[in-house]
Amino acid sequence: MILVLTAGLLIRLGMAGGVFHAPDTIQFTEMTAASVPWADSLVAPLSILFSLNLILFLFNLLPLPPLDGSTVLPMFMSDETARRYHDFLHQPMFSLLGLVVAWQVFGPIYKPFQLLALRLLYPEMGLPVSSSRPGRF
pLDDT of residue 129: 47
pLDDT of residue 137: 41
pLDDT of residue 127: 61
10-residue stretch averages of pLDDT, the chain, 137 residues long: 96 95 89 93 95 92 80 87 85 80 87 90 70 44
Burial of 92 (0-12, 13-18, 19+ CB in 10 A): exposed
Helix (H, G, I), strand (E, B) or coil at 72: coil
Domain boundaries, the chain: 2-125
Q: What secondary structure letter does DSSP report for 119?
A: H
Query: CA torsion sign, 114 to 118 to 123 to 126?
Result: negative
> Which of 126, 129, 110 is CA-nearest to residue 22?
126
Q: Is the separation of the CB atoms in 52 and 115 below 8 Å?
A: no
> Which of 63, 62, 72, 66 is CA-nearest to residue 89?
66
pLDDT of residue 58: 92
> Which of 115, 94, 97 is CA-nearest to residue 105?
97
pLDDT of residue 60: 86
